[in-house]
Amino acid sequence: MRILKIQTLRGPNYWSIRRHKLIVMRLDLENLAESPSNEIPGFYEGLVEALPSLEGHYCSPGCRGGFLMRVKEGTMMGHIIEHVALELQELVGMPAAFGRTRETGTPGIYQVVFEYENEEAGRYAGRAAVRLCQSIADRGRYPQAELEQDLQDLRDFARDSALGPSTEAIVKEAEKKGIPWMTLDARFLIQLGYGASQKRIQATMTNNTGILGVELACDKEATKRILAAAGVPVPRGSVINFLDDLEEAIEYVGGYPIVIKPVDGNHGRGITIDIRSWSEAESAYDAARQVSRGVIIEKYYTGRDHRVLVVDGKVVAVAERVPAHVVGDGKSTIAELVEDTNSDPNRGEGHESVLTKIELDRTSYQLLERQGLTLSSILPKDKTCYLRATANLSTGGIAVDRTDEIHPENVWMAQRIVKTIGLDIAGIDVVTNDISRPVRETDGVIVEVNAAPGFRMHISPSYGTSRNVAGAVVDMLFKNEQASRVPILSVTGTNGKTTTTRLLAHIFRQTGKVIGYTTTDGTYVGEYLVESGDNTGPQSAQLILQDPTVQVAVLETARGGILRCGLAFESSNVGVVLNVAADHLGLGDIDNIDQLGHLKSVVAEAVYPDGYAVLNADDPRVAAMAEKTKANIAYFTMNSDSQLVRDHIQKGGVAALYENGYISILKGDWTHRIEKVENIPLTMGGRAPFMIANALAASLAAFVQNVTIEQIRAGLNTFRASVSQTPGRMNLFNLGNYHALVDYAHNPHSYEALGSFVKNWNSGQRIGVVGGPGDRRDEDFVTLGKLAAGIFEKIIVKEDDDTRGRARGSAAELISKGIKQVKPDLSYEMILDETQAINKALDSAPDNSLVVILPESITRAIKLIKARGVVKEELQQQ
C-alpha cells in the first residue's frame, strides 16, 4: 500500500458538517486492491491479536464486535485502516470516533477519512495504521514493540501540543458557550471570538489585564507598600541588595522566624520560610539571590496558605494549598511513601496534570531534619510529614476547596485589594489560620497578589468542589455568544463568486462598518488590499477573522479550500450558493457534478440555525440544498413566476426576484422594489442577466443581515464592473470604432452566461478570443468550442501560457473540434500565443464590432487594449 496524500481538515467539510477535525488519506491499496480481508490468510487473527480492543467498534452491524465481524467476512483494506487509525488514537486517550472510506474514480485508490484530536497525532495514526495492516497482511502480525512505540509517539504528540491547564480550561469553556477560538502564532496567545469582537488571552491574562497591574503584582515589595498604604495587613519586612544588610533587616522585622524570598519570584522559586537561624538565613539569602537581585526579608507568619481568586471584581474561588507531604502507614519509609505518592497517575511533571510529582530539594531535607526524620525513617501511622515548606502545586502540594467557607469581610477585602492593584484576574495569597474568620482577627496577612494565577487548584482540587473559574473569565470577556462574533457571509458557486463577494462587501460598506473580504484576486480590509493572490481558502479567511478591525467578514469560498482544509469557521451567518455547474471535474476526487454540488452545499449547511442560506432557486442542485440546511432559507430567482419561490413567500419566507425590470425583495406580503436594473451598472444596463442574478444574491444576503433597502440600493448604484472594482469581470472598453470586452469566463456555464450578454450586442460583428485552463477534461474544451460557436461570428482560438500539464496545441485542437461540430463554416483561426491572438483580433476588428477576450492574464489583456491609445472604460451602457 502507498499513501498518496494526507490532508488535514479543520472545519466543516465534504465529509461532515459537524466533525471538523478529520484526516483525509488518499491511499493506493496496490497489491491489496483485489483482496478483501477474508481472502488474506491470517489477517483477521493477526489484527485481533495486535488490537483486541477493536472489539469495541460497532461499524455497520451496529453492535459490539460489529467491525471485526466485517473483517472476518471480508472488507476492503481502506476501511480497516480507517478503524485502526481511530483505535490507535483511542488507545492513548484521544477520542476519535468518526470515519468514512470510499473508493475514488480510480480503482484501487481509496479515500480514508478519520477523526483526530491532535493533528500531528492524527496524521501519524494514519501512517501507523497503514504500517500495521501492511505488516499483518505480509507477515500475519505486527510486532508488539512497534505498536508500543507507535502509542508512545502518539502520546508525545498529545503532550507536546497540549495547552496549559488554565488555558485549556478557558478554551473548553468558550467552546461550551459556542465562542470560537484559535491559537495565534506567537507567545501562546489565544484568540477568542472573531474580528473586531475578539478578545485575547495568554494563560490567565487577558487583553484587558493592565500592564501596570501586572508589573505591580510582580514586584512583591511594591505590592506590599501599596496595600499597606490602603490599610491591608501585609508582612512586615524590607528589601536588601547586599548580604551585609541582612542582619539589620532581620532585626527590623523583629527577629526570627523569618521568610526570605526574591522580589519578583514565582512558583515558590528561591523562597525559604520559617527561617530560625543565621546560617539558614545566609543560605536562604543566596537561594533568593539566584532568582532576583532584590531580596525580601519578611516576618514569618504561621497559618495556612490560601489562594483567593478574583475575576472581574468578584471572588470566584478560594483554595487552601497544603505543602507536599506524606502520611505514615507505620510500615513504609518516607522515601517509599514519596514514591508511592508520585505513582498516582494524577501526578505529572510541571503543570501538565492535575497534580505535580513531589520533588525533594534543599528545603525538604531541612524540614526532615527539623522533624527529626530522614528519608529512610519509617513514619508512624497517620503522622503527617511535610516535605516542602511552601504550598505551590508545582512543587507537589495539594489543594482543598474553601470557597464556601471564606468570611464575607475577607471577600470584601480581596475584591478591594484586586481593585487597588488593578487586575481583572488575580490570585491573592493569604496566610491565616482560618479563612472563615476575618483576617484581621486571626492575625493573618496578604503575602502577595498574583497576576496570571493558575487555575488548576480551583478546577481540580484534591478535596472539595471543583469551581468553574474559567467560566467566570469567559463571562467577563463576552456578555454572550453573540458578543464574540462578527457577521460572516460566505459565498460559493461555480461562477460569480468574486463578483458577488465584492458587490456584497460594497453594499455592506454603506452601513459604515469595516468590511474584510477575500476573493480570487486578493484579501481586502476596508478600502485596502492586504494581500493579492487567490485568497479563497481558509488561511485568508483566518486572516480576516483574526483582524481586530474587521466588523463584517465576506468570504469568497472556493471548492479547493473546502476540499483541502474545510471551512475556516464553524458556522456563518449567511451562506450564499450561486450555482453549481461543471468545472474542475476530475480534480481532487470530485468527478461528477453531484459530488461538486455536495461539496458546495457545505457552505449552505454550515450556517447558524438563526442565519440564512441564500440559494439560487433557478438551479435545481442549489435549490435542493434547502433540504439539508438547518438555517433559514432565502431564495433568489430570475424567474418571477418561480413556483418554488412563490410557495416560499406564501409561507412567510423571504426571496429576491427579478420582476418587471426591478430587483425586488419579497417577504410575506411585502414587496420592496430596490432598484431598476438599468440603474445598476454591474448589469450592463440590464443586458447581462447573470450579473442581475449576482445582484439579486448580494442584495438578498445583505437584506437578511438587516442592511436597509436604501443602503442596498446605494450599493447597487455605485458598484461598477470596472477594472478597479472587478478586474476581469465584464470590463467593457470603448475603442472608438469598436468595443472590447475582457471577461474571465472559463467554463461552459460562464460561457453561456457571457453569451447571454454578447447576444444582446446588436450593432456589429461579435468576435471571440477564446481558450481555457489546461487542467480541464478533454470534453470540457469541446464544449467550450461548441458554446463559442453559438455566441460569435468569428473566433480566434488561443491557449494559456501555462498549459497546466497539457501538450501545447491540444486544448486549441479540442476547442476547434467543438466549433466545427456546431458550425462547420464559421470563420475561425488558431493563434496559440495569447498576446498575438488578442492583437490580431483588435487589429482586424471591423467598425461597431465587439471583441470579447477571455484571457489567461487579465492585466496583460487590459494593457494590450489600453496600449491602443485613448480608450474609455464604459461602465454603464444602454
* Residue 783 contact, options Mg ion, ligand ATP, none, Cβ 5-8 Å cut-off depending on partner type: none
Q: How far is the CB of 69 from ligand ATP (least distance, A)?
A: 46
The answer to whether residue 754 forms part of the interface with ligand ATP (CB under 6 A) is yes
With vertex at residue 129, the alpha carbon angle to CA 123 and CA 133, rounded to the nearest 5 degrees, is 155
CB nearer ligand ATP, residue 193 or residue 774: 774
Q: How far is the CB of 754 from ligand ATP (least distance, A)?
A: 4
- Residues forming a β-bridge with 852: 741, 768
Work out the number of other CB atoms within 10 angstroms of the CB of residue 290.
10
Confirm if 495 and 750 have CB atoms less than 8 A apart: yes
Segment contacting ligand ATP by CB under 6 A, of 74-82, 155-163, 488-496, 594-602: 488-496
The answer to whether residue 260 forms part of the interface with ligand ATP (CB under 6 A) is no
Rounded to the nearest 10 degrees, the angle between the axes of helix 278-289 and helix 362-370 is 160
The residues near 56 (Cβ < 8 Å, ≥ 6 apart) are 64
The answer to whether residue 298 forms part of the interface with ligand ATP (CB under 6 A) is yes
Segment contacting ligand ATP by CB under 6 A, of 299-307, 370-378, 405-413, 699-707: 299-307
Closest CA to 359 of 395, 332, 390: 395
* Residue 693 contact, options Mg ion, ligand ATP, none, Cβ 5-8 Å cut-off depending on partner type: ligand ATP
Q: How far is the CB of 392 from ligand ATP (least distance, A)?
A: 4
Helix H or strand E encompassing 347: strand 347-348
Residue 442: phi and psi, rounded to 5, are: -95, 5
Q: Which of 477, 578, 770, 819 binds ligand ATP (CB under 6 A)?
A: 578
- For cell 497578589, name the residue: 449
* Residue 684 contact, options ligand ATP, Mg ion, none, Cβ 5-8 Å cut-off depending on partner type: none
CB nearer ligand ATP, residue 181 or residue 690: 690
Q: Which of 70, 325, 497, 823 binds ligand ATP (CB under 6 A)?
A: 497
The answer to whether residue 450 forms part of the interface with ligand ATP (CB under 6 A) is yes
The answer to whether residue 637 forms part of the interface with ligand ATP (CB under 6 A) is no
Work out the number of other CB atoms within 10 angstroms of the CB of residue 229.
9
Q: Which of 498, 722, 725, 731 binds ligand ATP (CB under 6 A)?
A: 498
CA 700 to chain centre: 27
CB nearer Mg ion, residue 265 or residue 774: 265
Q: How far is the CB of 749 from Mg ion (least distance, A)?
A: 14
The answer to whether residue 569 forms part of the interface with ligand ATP (CB under 6 A) is no
Segment contacting ligand ATP by CB under 6 A, of 103-111, 267-275, 465-473, 732-740: 267-275
Q: Which long-range contacts (CB under 8 A, 24 or more apart) does 598-602 make?
A: 598/14, 599/14, 599/559, 599/562, 599/563, 600/492, 600/493, 600/494, 600/559, 600/562, 601/577, 601/625, 601/628, 601/629, 602/12, 602/13, 602/14, 602/17, 602/562, 602/566, 602/567
Q: How far is the CB of 297 from Mg ion (least distance, A)?
A: 17
The number of residues that bind ligand ATP (CB under 6 A) is: 44
CB nearer Mg ion, residue 40 or residue 398: 398
d(CA 524, CA 526): 6
CB nearer Mg ion, residue 728 or residue 818: 728
36-to-57, 133, 136, 831 alpha-carbon distances in Å:
19, 12, 13, 53
d(CA 123, CA 25): 9
d(CA 335, CA 355): 19
Segment contacting ligand ATP by CB under 6 A, of 47-55, 266-274, 617-625, 628-636: 266-274
Biggest CA–CA distance in the chain, Å, is: 112
Near ligand ATP in 639-698, by CB under 6 A: 690, 693-694
The answer to whether residue 301 forms part of the interface with ligand ATP (CB under 6 A) is yes
The answer to whether residue 71 forms part of the interface with ligand ATP (CB under 6 A) is no
**Residues at the interface with Mg ion (CB under 5 A):** 429, 448, 497-498, 520
CB nearer Mg ion, residue 386 or residue 744: 744
- For cell 478557558, name the residue: 170
Confirm if 60 and 95 have CB atoms less than 8 A apart: no
Q: How far is the CB of 210 from ligand ATP (least distance, A)?
A: 19
* Residue 700 contact, options Mg ion, ligand ATP, none, Cβ 5-8 Å cut-off depending on partner type: none
Eight-class DSSP state of 820:
H
Residue nearest to ligand ATP as judged by C-beta position = 496
Closest CA to 650 of 642, 658, 660: 642
The answer to whether residue 266 forms part of the interface with ligand ATP (CB under 6 A) is yes
Separation of first and last alpha carbons in the chain = 63
Q: How far is the CB of 537 from Mg ion (least distance, A)?
A: 12
Segment contacting ligand ATP by CB under 6 A, of 40-48, 119-127, 386-394, 589-597: 386-394
Confirm if 108 and 29 have CB atoms less than 8 A apart: yes
Confirm if 94 and 117 have CB atoms less than 8 A apart: yes
The answer to whether residue 792 forms part of the interface with ligand ATP (CB under 6 A) is no
CB nearer ligand ATP, residue 25 or residue 447: 447
d(CA 725, CA 731): 10
Near ligand ATP in 420-449, by CB under 6 A: 429, 431, 447-448
Q: Which of 40, 96, 179, 391 binds ligand ATP (CB under 6 A)?
A: 391
Interacting residues toward ligand ATP by CB under 6 A? 235, 259, 261, 265-269, 271, 273, 298, 300-301, 305, 390-392, 429, 431, 447-448, 450, 493, 495-499, 520, 558, 578-579, 690, 693-694, 729-730, 743-745, 749-750, 753-754
